[in-house]
Amino acid sequence: MNSSEQIDWISRWYDIPYPASAYTFPREALLHVVRFDDEYMHLELTDGRILSVPLSWIPTLHSAEPEEREKYEITRDRKMIVWDPDKCAINDEVRIDDYLMPRSNEWCKVVQATWRTLDPRLEDLRGLRDLGGL
């Protein structure tokens, strides 16, 4: 493609059949329903989106019995799923925002450093296997 063809291609205008107001752009992610299968936690949001998170990403859920996973509560603000250790064998919480946007490497380093302060054997997720978490 020569330079004049490239300029023509870049400056080409296409008709858009719908105005921007016809599109839906979610403003907030709120939990509506949570479902589980053998591999995923499916988060149905109030705006109609469905987010499927691999259970392998959440070691406590991955290693838990299926009936224990179902003993969750959605928080009042509809932003988190909580498992109360007084009511089930899981002690964890999942924040929906953690799975809707990418995390920087710096954020991951902070999380891993926090894990290491809690237990030095948790150098990374592989360390959870040694502790019986995976």
Q: What is the pLDDT of residues 27-75, one digit of tens each?
A: 889 999 999 999 999 999 999 999 999 999 999 999 999 999 999 999 9
Length of the chain: 134
Indicate whether 1 pLDDT > 90: no
Are residues 112 and 96 part of one domain?
no
Are residues 123 and 72 part of one domain?
no
Q: Quick check: is 62 in a domain?
A: yes
Neighbours of 107 (CB within 10 A): 11
Give the domain range for residue 119.
104-134
Indicate whether 80 pLDDT > 70: yes
Q: What is the pLDDT of residues 42-53, one digit of tens each?
A: 999 999 999 999
In angstroms, rounded to a whole number, what is the distance separating the alpha carbons of residues 43 and 50?
A: 6
> Where do we find the tokens 């710096």?
106
Q: Quick check: is 84 in a domain?
A: yes
> Where do we find the tokens 């926090």?
114
Query: The pTM is what?
Result: 0.65
**Phi, psi (degrees; rounded to nearest 5) at 65:** -70, 145
User: What is the chain's mean pLDDT, rounded?
Assistant: 81
Q: Quick check: is 3 in a domain?
A: no
Are residues 77 and 110 part of one domain?
no
User: For 117-124, what is the mean pLDDT?
Assistant: 57
Are residues 97 and 61 part of one domain?
yes
